[in-house]
Structure 1
């Protein structure tokens, strides 16, 4: 779990270090802007941007019940972030499995990608699709009730 938060925490600390220079030089506005930019980027790569992850077993169970795809992802992955942001509100309808938190999920991704832990890997009807186009993923969602 600590490795999930390591990149965002390092960004916040780096932002504080970078903002210290302008603050000491008497330019608090530049310091504040730099720090806020680092905070925003840290927030974007943190797990907070994604819906709450579930285990691979729970995601498969839920997917079988509602027909929604299962997305295997990891924090810090730019392709996962792209998928999440392009899906918008529809992202909450998918079942998200964090491969850094769930070893079984990581094993499923490696099995689907010839031993590579390539994310995002989206399972639709038990078929894996590695780094699919977000518009295609949206098309795979069942109609909203």
Structure 2
């Protein structure tokens, strides 16, 4: 779990350090702006941006029952963030598995990607798709009830 928060914490600390320069020179507005930029980057790279993760086994079980895709992701991945942000509210209609928290999820991704942990890997109807276009993923969602 600590690995998931490493990048956000480093970004927040770097922001505080970068903001200390303008603050020491008497530019509090610039310091606040710099700090806010780094905090926004930290928030975007945190696990908080993504829907709640579940284990790979539970995701498979739920996907078989409701037909929703499974998204294997990891914090700090820009392609995962792109997929999540482009999907908007539709992201909540999928099952998300954080491969840094779930060894079975990481193994499933490696099996689908020639031994590499390439994410996002989206599983639709049992077939993995590596880094698919967000529009394609949205089309794979079952109609909402």
**Under a length normalisation based on structure 2, what TM-score does the superposition of the two structures give?**
0.99
1:54 aligned residue: 54
Over the residues paired in the alignment, what is the CA RMSD in angstroms? 0.3
How many residues align structurally? Answer: 145
* 1:4-83 to 2 correspondences below 5 Å: 4-83=4-83
Q: Deviations over 1:27-84 (max 9, x none)?
A: 0000000000000000001000000000000100110111000000000000000000
1:114 aligned residue: 114
Q: In the TM superposition, what is the alpha-carbon distance from 1:14 to its structure 2 partner?
A: 0.4
Q: Deviations over 1:103-145 (max 9, x none)?
A: 0000000000010100000000000000000000000000000
**Under a length normalisation based on structure 1, what TM-score does the superposition of the two structures give?**
0.99
Q: Which runs of 5+ in 1 are unaligned?
A: none
Q: Which runs of 5+ in 2 are unaligned?
A: none
2:90 aligned residue: 90
